[in-house]
Structure 1
Amino acid sequence: MALAELPLFPLGTVLLPGGQLSLRIFEPRYLDLVKRCGRSGEGFGVCLILAGREAGEPAIPATHGTEAVIVDFSLTDDGLLGLTVEGRRRFRVEHTRVRDDGLVLGDVQWFEDSPAQPLRDEHALLSVLLARILDKAGIEHEGIGKGQLADATWVGWRLAEWLPLEPAERLALLQEPDPHARLQQLVDRLPDFQPE
């Protein structure tokens, strides 16, 4: 399969498919990137930083990431460009190179999207947990075990987004190709979130 060139935006967080992220843009390399993406409608890749920092010298990105598409923008109170991006396709970075302006480009392999798969009985509790989280956040849903709350892939991504996981844990979930295995990893972590 042919590789695609994708500008990369290394961050200290993991963007998951279907998730949203707010960004403040101030470095010239990223302002140019946003301008190009705004004109073309194309996205860029968000990868967890393995070494380095978000600003300054180019950081070393993780080998897996998520395509980010701009869904909203505004000026922040401090006069910077604020973006809201949404996660779409997952990818694996095969090679990277750094342009003269410091922008990291990656040759990426896209992952196939998993078709909707029903939750297995052993993961039904996760639909209940996610419904409670969405209720507390004031987000409407169709009800436990219905619509998206019955889809193993969607439930896994949303729980990985909402549960208090470390970035490295979210990265491991992003790398997992099987939605049921992803849910099992979340089930295994649930006891760690119980109050003492």
Structure 2
Amino acid sequence: MKLPLFPLSTTLFPGCPLDLQLFEPRYLDMISRCLKQNIGFGVVTILEGEEVGAAPTRLGGFGCEAVVRDWQQQSNGLLGVRVEGVRRFRLLDTEVQDDQLTMGTVEWLDEPVERPLSDQHDDLAALLQALAEHPMVAALDLDGTARGQCELGYRLGYLLPFTPDQKNELLSLDDPGERLDRLHELLSSLQE
């Protein structure tokens, strides 16, 4: 399937909100089309290149479909848009259009059934609760509790300061338990 892409220096995960300020014509046009057609667009992580100007030279191999949840004109004159991650995809191929909008050929990834949290996830659940109290996270209206392993893994993967490659790896994992194990490993290496 073809999907318009919004390459960013951040990685979007399902169920997570993201605030964008739009000013480039390619993205204003893209959002307008998405709203008129009631469709989403893909957020992919920039591994090499910049968010503004020419299309990035290297993108992560995985992304997340985003749908517009709210928008408003900002005091600085830019269009502010809040999107939410919906579903993951594998990026198979990209093509940069004349207007520098990147189109991607994507394959949707199956979402696993949500599994309950267990005692071994208490530390990660407590970390999410602590993060939710930070003013920047609170501004996203992101709840500090998770209903299961998928949600906990997605929220921590989104909020924690990992590298773009590490975040893309977390997004790519199909098994929620494996994602939580990898989060433990990455947190241990951060603490060292």
TM range (shorter): 0.7 to 0.9
Q: Distance in 2 between matches of 1:163 and 1:126?
A: 11
Query: Is the CA contact (8 Å cut-off) linking 1:131 and 1:149 kept in structure 2?
Result: no
Residue 111 (1) aligns with residue 112 (2) = no
Provide the residue aligned with 2:124 in structure 1.
126
- How do residues 12-27 of structure 1 correspond to structure 2 at under 5 angstroms? 12-27=9-24
List gaps (5 residues or longer) in structure 1. Answer: none
The one-letter amino acid of 1:35's match is: S
- How do residues 77-156 of structure 1 correspond to structure 2 at under 5 angstroms? 77-134=75-132, 149-156=146-153
The Cα shift of 1:100 comes to: 1.6
Question: 1:164-193: per-residue Cα shift (whole Å, max 9, x none)?
Answer: 323222111001111101101111233355
Q: Structure 2 vs 1, CA of residues 99 and 113 (structure 1 numbering), >3 Å: closer, same or farther? A: same
The Cα shift of 1:120 comes to: 4.1
Moved more, 5-14 or 56-65: 56-65
The one-letter amino acid of 1:171's match is: N
SS at match of 2:114: coil
Provide the residue aligned with 2:186 in structure 1.
189
Q: Distance in 2 between matches of 1:166 and 1:36?
A: 32
The one-letter amino acid of 2:24's match is: E
Q: Structure 2 vs 1, CA of residues 50 and 166 (structure 1 numbering), >3 Å: closer, same or farther? A: closer
Question: 1:8-44: per-residue Cα shift (whole Å, max 9, x none)?
Answer: 1111111111111111111111111011011111010
Query: Is the CA contact (8 Å cut-off) linking 1:7 and 1:104 kept in structure 2?
Result: yes
TM-score scaled to structure 1, two decimals?
A: 0.86
The one-letter amino acid of 1:72's match is: D
The Cα shift of 1:135 comes to: 5.0
Aligned residue pairs, count: 187
Query: Is the CA contact (8 Å cut-off) linking 2:61 and 2:168 kept in structure 1?
Result: no
SS at match of 1:113: coil
Provide the residue aligned with 1:28 in structure 2.
25
SS at match of 2:53: coil
TM-score scaled to structure 2, two decimals?
A: 0.87
How big is the alpha-carbon RMSD for the aligned residues of Structure 1 and Structure 2?
2.2
Q: Distance in 1 between matches of 2:128 and 2:157?
A: 10
SS at match of 1:149: coil
Provide the residue aligned with 1:162 in structure 2.
159
SS at match of 2:146: helix
Query: Is the CA contact (8 Å cut-off) linking 2:111 and 2:174 kept in structure 1?
Result: no
State the identity %.
42
